[in-house]
Structure 1
Amino acid sequence: MFEENLREIVNGAMLPQYNGKKVSITGLVTKVNPNGITFDMRSSDDKIVKVNLRKPHSNILEGHVEVHGTAVSGTTVICDDLTEFSPESSAEFDATSHNTMCQLLQSVPNLWKTAA
């Protein structure tokens, strides 16, 4: 039922472990291609991640974003859904704490598995 929305919350260093899998990654937009289809962001662990959108983004893309999509080629995510932070939320985003959360989530095997 909800399987199509299941994804791992990761940082940039974790992306290669999830090649071909659904992920959620948050970062600061650093470079936007003029074609509006690709952009680079700096993840919470200070890695550069390339994001490929399925269709051009029509608005100015800046600040922090959360990308839901499929990890490919180690440092790239094919974006299914993009959430843009407000300027205020972007200014207050704590990348260090977010990175710690990513590491904690990955340290517990089968974190979301429930007994049947």
Structure 2
Amino acid sequence: MAEGQANPRVNASMLPRYEGCLVNLLGKVKSVDQNGTSFVLTSTDNIDIEILLPESLEDSVEGITEVIGSVCPNPRQINCHQYVNHGDIDMDLSLYDEAVKLSHEHEKFFPIMKTNSDNQ
């Protein structure tokens, strides 16, 4: 990734284009694995994504959460590098989803990392 470029903000339907790439995904925690090694995040476009953690959770994760991670070959999974738990804040996730879509439609105003298919 070029210096100064950010990870793309994506929704779940965009994940297949970013296999192996770092992305930012926002959603609402649906459930946490009883071992604390993963959790399910419902994305802003209402698709469940399994977030795989490098180590077991020490704190609770609930509500609105943003994940920074690498998209797995199965695009319904992300290897989490970092997450930020915002808790139960009042946020319009459908409006956020529209902003994510617009950022991809108007890339000259919102520079993002190239997808794997762009590099082929």
Bin for the TM-score computed over the shorter chain: 0.7 to 0.9
- Aligned mates of 1:18, 1:70 — CA distance in 2: 8
Equivalent residue number for residue 106 of structure 2? 108
* CA displacement 1:22-49 (0-9 Å, x = unmatched): 1000011111101111110110000011
Aligned CA distance change for structure 1 residues 53 and 3 (closer, same or farther; 3 Å): farther
Higher helix content, 1 or 2: 1
Higher relative contact order by CA 8 Å / sep ≥ 6: 1 or 2? 2
Equivalent residue number for residue 94 of structure 2? 96
- Count matched residues: 110
**Pairwise CA distance, 1:2:** 7.2
- Aligned mates of 2:54, 2:5 — CA distance in 1: 17
**Pairwise CA distance, 1:62:** 1.0
**Pairwise CA distance, 1:93:** 1.2
The one-letter code of the counterpart of 2:104 is: Q
* Contact 2:62–2:87 under 8 Å retained in 1: no
SS in 2 for 1:50: strand
- Aligned mates of 1:8, 1:76 — CA distance in 2: 16
Which structure 2 segments of 5+ residues have no match? 113-120
Equivalent residue number for residue 85 of structure 1? 86
The one-letter code of the counterpart of 1:65 is: T
* Contact 1:68–1:82 under 8 Å retained in 2: yes
Two-structure CA RMSD over aligned residues (Å): 2.1
* CA displacement 1:1-60 (0-9 Å, x = unmatched): 974973110001111111111100001111110111111011000001110011111112
Aligned CA distance change for structure 1 residues 101 and 62 (closer, same or farther; 3 Å): same
**Pairwise CA distance, 1:86:** 3.4
* Contact 1:6–1:22 under 8 Å retained in 2: no
Instruction: Give the structure-2-normalised TM-score.
Output: 0.83
Aligned CA distance change for structure 1 residues 78 and 5 (closer, same or farther; 3 Å): farther
